[in-house]
Structure formats: structure tokens, C-alpha cells
Amino acid sequence: MNFFLALFLIIPAFAQSDFQFQQSLKRLIRNASMPDVSPGMVVASPSRTNPNYYYDWVRDTSLSMKALIDVWEISKNPAIEKMLYIWVDSETRRQNTYTLSGLGEPKYNIDGTGFEGPWGRPQNDGPALRAISMIKFGRLLIDSGKRDYVQRKLYGGMIPAMGPVKKDLEYTAHHWREPNFEPWEEEMGLHFYNMLVQYTALKVGSEFAFEMGDGGAAAFYKHEAYAIGEYIRKNFLSEQVGIKVSAVVTRGLGYKHSGIDVTPLLALNHTYPYQDLISLNDPYVKKYLEVLKSTFQNLYGINSTYRGMGVAIGRYPEDRYDGYTTGGKGNPWFLATLAVAEFQCLSGNKRSSRGQFDRVHFHSDKTGQLDEQFNDTTGFMQGAYELTWSHGAYITASLKCQK
């Protein structure tokens, strides 16, 4: 695709020096434009067996598109803009497709139909993340004079002709109290990650609805956001671990006991700079980060075998998913290790982020490929190859750390 070349020219200031950034961008775009996949849908990985990730997850796609929106914000590359319109159309179609759990359906087949096998559903982080990404896109479009498109196609306040943003906000406002699966698709309950992204979607959604002339909805979203905020402040802060992964688990693995998980960190990154509930410098956040880092520092052999770099981080200490089966041992993940870098840059601690990037580069294969995990003792990559979310996480962390 020839528009990569254009990108090299448009954002040379930081990008030229950053091989992995360009590779991640190219590889993310590749996973977002597979020829046999319905246009606008993004495969989580090109891997079709062991594991089969050749599906579109709403969470992965919303986060990957957010990375592309961030790139578009600074490059204004027309080919990326076009991809984003195609994504909006595809999400609009998807929202009007029957699924087993409505908009909470986490995973779709590559022809756009809902996946109907057994799965952890619903996952209500998806609609909220999609709304956050689309609202950011919408605001940038308004700034470039495309308010009409935003009003008509993106927001679409007129019932029943609801646009994708309004649909996601309605869903979130009506379902946030219900137990649902966290991003690792393993435990049903009420989770910090899901609640903070739902809070944030409704908060920015309320402001956006107001600007779109939908005042009644704006007041409703604001009210619900406030209620989620109350719930979060009361139920997730902990003296032991800073921020707990879940407040309620209605159906769980049975071996996840520590309460320590990287998803609160992901939540803080994914809702920045919109959420105003918890400051990145809050003592509970500080405590949480210390516990998170020291837990994984001690858990993974590579953190002491290969020193002088940042800490390799996994999903949670009791993790048994090794990228192929759940009978194994959890490993560090690229997106989790990069999340520490991103957080450091957002919270004014940019200098320490260097070590996290070094860690990622060290365990990558140096060709630009990033898989899902890297082995906790050998350091070699494993799990779904070329995970779209790994590349998205690299792009987002780099952009936050360049500023």
C-alpha cells in the first residue's frame, strides 16, 4: 500500500527514527485490511489456528482504531481518514446485526456476523471503548469542518435512526450495573476496567450529545456517569493493592485471588485525558503501580535474567493462559509492558519509560513483529502472532511518550 510512504514524509520528526513505530503502524493497518475480511473489520491477529484469532473483537478494534485516530490527528493522512470512515460504516452495520448478547457481543466473524460459539459474554467494555474512539474522531472531524457528517452519520440523535455513538451511549447507560466479562474474557462480575471506560464514555458522551443538540440524552448520560463514578470510588480502592481488579465476581475462575491485574492500568491509559475521577498521582494509584510492578518483577524469571531494562508485565499473577491453552503458565504481554511506559509518560515520568521500550525491543524479534506474549523464562515471543493490539499499544505508548 503506497500510503505508508506518505506517512514517512508527513511525520518524520519522530517517526523516522523509530523503526518499530513505523512497523507497528504498517502491521496494524495490514490486520485492518485483510482481503477476505468484511471492510472496516480488524482481525485480532492473522493467526487462524493455535490460537484462532481470525475474528474481530470490539475491544481490540476500538483500541486499534483509537491508535489510528491518534496518528491521523497529527498526520492528517487521507488514506487513514478513509479507513476510519470505512470503520464507522462497518461498526454501524455490526450494531444492527443480530448477536447473542446485543451490543455486548465481544467477538464477530470476519463476514460481520456475530460469533455464536460458547464465549464469555457479554463484555460491556466494547461499546464504551468504541464510543470514546468515535467521539474523538468526531471532534477532530468537526475541527476540520465536517460537522455535518458527524451529526448525521456518527451521532445521529434522531430516533429511530440512531448513529453508532448514540447507540453505544444508550447501551452503556442502560447496562453498566449488570455483571459482564472483563477484558480477559474469564470472569463475570463488576470490574474496574469496564466501569472506568463506561464512566468515561458517558462523561464525554454527555458533552458530545449536548453539542449535537440532544440535551435530554446529555442530561441522562451525565446522571448515569455520576452514578458509575460513585460506585467506582466506593468499591475499588484498596489498602493492599491500591486498585482491585473486580468489586464483584459472579462467575469466576476460582484461582484468581490476589486482586492484582494490569487492567486498572489499561483503564487509566485508555480513559486519559477524559476521566476526572482518579488522578494519576493519587496515592492509591501509586500504591497500585508499585504492587503491580513488584509482583511481576518477582514472578517472571526474565526480569532478573535480563536486567537493566524495565519490568516485563503480564495480565495478572495467577494467569494460566500461555497463548495457546489455559493449562499453562501466564507470561508477560507486550501490551501490558507498554502500558507501564504509557502511564509513566502520562504522569510526568517520561524518563523511566525508556526502560519499558527497551524491554519490548529486546523481546521482539527485531523485524518489527510483535506477538501477544513473550516467554517468562526464555524471553521468546509466543501466542497469537502479530497481535493487532500489541501494535496498537506500541503506537499509543510512543505517541504519548513523544509529546
Q: How far is the CB of 315 from ligand NOJ (least distance, A)?
A: 7
Question: What is the secondary structure of 327-346 as a DSSP string?
Answer: SS---BBHHHHHHHHHHHHH
Q: How far is the CB of 44 from ligand NOJ (least distance, A)?
A: 4
Nearer to ligand NOJ, 216 or 255 (CB): 255
d(C-alpha 313, C-alpha 366), whole Å:
20
Angle at 248 between CA 243 and CA 254, to 5 degrees: 95
Residues that bind ligand NOJ (CB under 6 A): 44, 53, 57, 59-60, 183-186, 321, 326, 389
Q: Do residues 283 and 360 make contact, with C-beta atoms less than 8 angstroms apart?
A: no
Q: Hey, which residues does 238 pair with through a beta bridge?
A: 242
* DSSP helix/strand/coil, 60: helix
Nearest residue relative to ligand NOJ (C-beta): 321
Residue closest to 249 by CA, chosen among 180, 315, 185, 195:
180
Nearer to ligand NOJ, 7 or 42 (CB): 42
d(C-alpha 342, C-alpha 347), whole Å:
9
Nearer to ligand NOJ, 59 or 270 (CB): 59
Provide the grid cell at 199: 464512566
Q: How far is the CB of 231 from ligand NOJ (least distance, A)?
A: 23
Q: How far is the CB of 24 from ligand NOJ (least distance, A)?
A: 15
Q: How far is the CB of 48 from ligand NOJ (least distance, A)?
A: 13
Q: How far is the CB of 73 from ligand NOJ (least distance, A)?
A: 24
Nearer to ligand NOJ, 53 or 221 (CB): 53
Nearer to ligand NOJ, 44 or 302 (CB): 44
Nearer to ligand NOJ, 184 or 199 (CB): 184
Indicate the DSSP class of residue 102.
G
Nearer to ligand NOJ, 4 or 324 (CB): 324
Buried b (16+ CB within 10 A) or exposed e, 85-120: eebbebbbebbeeebebebbbbbbbeebebbeeeeb
Q: Find all residues with CB under 8 Å of 182, minimum gap 6, and list them.
A: 123, 125, 189, 191, 193, 194, 245, 246, 261, 263
Q: How far is the CB of 182 from ligand NOJ (least distance, A)?
A: 9
Angle at 241 between CA 240 and CA 245, to 5 degrees: 130
Q: How far is the CB of 248 from ligand NOJ (least distance, A)?
A: 19
Nearer to ligand NOJ, 214 or 319 (CB): 319
Q: Do residues 39 and 86 make contact, with C-beta atoms less than 8 angstroms apart?
A: yes
